Amino acid sequence: MVKVELLLYLIVALMILRVGGEGASLRIEMTEEELRREADRVMGLPGQPPVEFKQYAGYVTVNETHGRALFYWFFEATKNPHNKPLLLWLNGGPGCSSVGYGEAEELGPFFPQKGKPELKFNPHTWNKAANLLFVESPVGVGFSYTNTSRDLKELGDSITAKDSYAFLVNWLRRFPQFKSHDFYIAGESYAGHYVPQLSELIFDNNKLVPKEDYINFKGFMIGNALMDDETDQRGMIDYAWDHAVISDGLYHDIKTTCNFSVSKPSNSCNTFLDKYFDVYSIIDMYSLYTSTCPDSNFSTTPHHVPVIRGLAPLLFSHFDGWHKRPTGYDPCASDYTEVYMNRPDVQKALHANTTGIPYPWTHCRSDNTTSWGDAPASMLPTLNKLIAGGVRVWVYSGDTDGRIPVTATRYTLKKLGLNIIQDWTPWYTDNKQVGGWTIEYEGLVFVTVRGAGHQVPTFKPKQALQLLAHFLANHSLPSSPY
């Protein structure tokens, strides 16, 4: 296998190519960004199965003055990458890694395994449908860093969107072959803020920027997404009662004492919400019907869960239970990922941690989100603006998630006030099973995924890939068995 260092050296040397005749010579020169792109090429990862597609990883500077840089991992499509769209995936938190969750446990090509140094190839990887880009955002998350420590105390929705936009502009300068491709964004959970906010920034800036920085943005898709404080919180309680998680009495007490439109609960509301969150210390809030991981650093028990504060909804943000990190279908999958990503040989292969970050890689960073600066109570105005602007918007919901449950999403979408074109309709998988239900609104499509938890691609990988393919093609999911 060619060493990355040797490859970079050969490129930097510019490989003067001599041709005959009268001693003429042809000098093949590469731009600075082309050199950086080739330096980012991942020639192979420890334990990686053989693949034919190219992958790249490294850093893109988003603020030269402060020394802020975001870490990315990019996979070309498995086939015909020149004809496939470009898709950016964002996980939420805020403060959680899109590499750790999205790539390594949900929809990327490679999954770490229990007790094995090898990676497992994901047969339902989303780079079967698109060129797939992951970025760890904001700074302080994963391998992304800043040389200005005060940046970590000034994080919030606005700076995250601005840095993500700067990342995209600079990344496309490094990979100009993808500038003309249709561009989409997808994400889950707190990406219900990240994705619409970044989309709005692209939408607005596309009207102002020079041609070379125009992004061919077409639409976005968000799953089990935090979108509106009031409906997200009300929906959590209603879902818990409807799914036999809390008693009739506790449900009544919460509904009669808690005002989901305020930021600070009353003392009596606090008492009842404590009892509500106690339930999720013994079952997985993110997937009601799957097991938790015993004796794990990623267990759902409160003793093992770091609190990520400062995020909407404001009322529930006071409770540790709201901040529990998700687990996947294998409830211990996050353990395997953390071990793998902290291996020095893995970090070297990924061109990661090049500045010697003084802490281990983790899925989520709680210390840099304790003072999260801005989080609008509702993303509905942004959604309405983008829908009116012709941006394609799909919202999906795994229906066994108690964190941002399907009940909350239905309340939220009803608040948008969109006209319904096609009401509650089943959609089918290729084995003639019902995959979930859809509602087609004027300007938005809502999809439920039957039996999926918070991280839909983890629990229903085949259905998630089917959902993505139909979103990218702007085709309705099949409404009858096929």
Angle of CA points 451, 226, 236, to nearest 5°: 60
- The rounded mean pLDDT for the chain is 87
Structure confidence at residue 222 (pLDDT): 98
> Using alpha carbons only, how large is the chain's radius of gyration in Å?
23
Structure confidence at residue 472 (pLDDT): 98
Tell me the average pLDDT across 397-406. Answer: 96
Tell me the average pLDDT across 469-480. Answer: 97
Catalytic residue among 97, 189, 317, 397: 189
Structure confidence at residue 312 (pLDDT): 44
Which range scores top for mean pLDDT: 194-203, 257-266, 286-295, 303-312?
194-203
Q: Using the predicted structure, report yes or no on whether residue 141 has a pLDDT greater than 70.
A: yes
73: pLDDT confidence band, cut at 50, 70 and 90?
A: very high
**DSSP string across 74-99:** EE--SS-GGGS-EEEEE--TTTB-II
Structure confidence at residue 262 (pLDDT): 79
Share of residues in the chain with pLDDT > 70 (%): 86
Angle of CA points 130, 131, 135, to nearest 5°: 120
Nearest CA-CA partner of 202 in 161, 171, 173: 161
Share of residues in the chain with pLDDT > 90 (%): 73
Q: Catalytic: 274?
A: no
| Residue pLDDT, tens place only, 297-307 | 543 333 233 33
Task: Please report, for residues 191, 310, 363, 367, 401, the alpha-carbon distance to residue 94 in angstroms, rounded to integers and kept in the order given.
Answer: 8, 9, 11, 11, 18
Q: Which one has a higher pLDDT value, 7 or 336? A: 336
Q: Using the predicted structure, report yes or no on whether residue 44 has a pLDDT greater than 60.
A: yes
**Residues 6 or more apart in contact with residue 392 via CB below 8 angstroms:** 184, 218, 219, 220, 471, 474
Contact 361, 341 (CB under 8 A): yes
Nearest CA-CA partner of 159 in 310, 378, 314, 373: 373
Tell me the average pLDDT across 402-421. Answer: 97
**Exposure of 102 by Cβ count < 10 A (0-12 exposed, 13-18 middle, 19+ buried)?**
buried
Contact 84, 77 (CB under 8 A): yes
Structure confidence at residue 34 (pLDDT): 83
**Separation CA 124–CA 457 (nearest Å):** 9
Structure confidence at residue 43 (pLDDT): 96
Structure confidence at residue 20 (pLDDT): 38
Structure confidence at residue 403 (pLDDT): 92
The answer to which of 213-222, 282-291, 308-317, 375-384 has the lowest mean pLDDT is 308-317
Q: Which one has a higher pLDDT value, 280 or 11? A: 280
Structure confidence at residue 316 (pLDDT): 56
Phi then psi for residue 189, to 5 deg, are 65, -120
Structure confidence at residue 429 (pLDDT): 95
Catalytic residue among 193, 351, 454, 470: 454
Q: Catalytic: 334?
A: no
25: pLDDT confidence band, cut at 50, 70 and 90?
A: very low
Q: What share of the chain is helix, strand, coil (3-state, %, to 5)?
A: 35, 20, 45
**Separation CA 270–CA 115 (nearest Å):** 42
Structure confidence at residue 1 (pLDDT): 39
Q: Catalytic: 317?
A: no
Structure confidence at residue 290 (pLDDT): 85
Q: Using the predicted structure, report yes or no on whether residue 428 has a pLDDT greater than 50.
A: yes
Structure confidence at residue 299 (pLDDT): 37
The answer to which of 61-65, 113-117, 240-244, 426-430 has the lowest mean pLDDT is 113-117
How far apart are the two ends of the chain, measured CA to CA in Å? 45
Task: Please report, for residues 65, 283, 437, the alpha-carbon distance to residue 302 in angstroms, rounded to integers and kept in the order given.
Answer: 40, 11, 34
Contact 179, 173 (CB under 8 A): no
Q: Using the predicted structure, report yes or no on whether residue 23 has a pLDDT greater than 90.
A: no
Catalytic residue among 40, 229, 253, 401: 401
Q: Using the predicted structure, report yes or no on whether residue 193 has a pLDDT greater than 50.
A: yes
Tell me the average pLDDT across 201-227. Answer: 97
Q: Using the predicted structure, report yes or no on whether residue 325 has a pLDDT greater than 70.
A: no
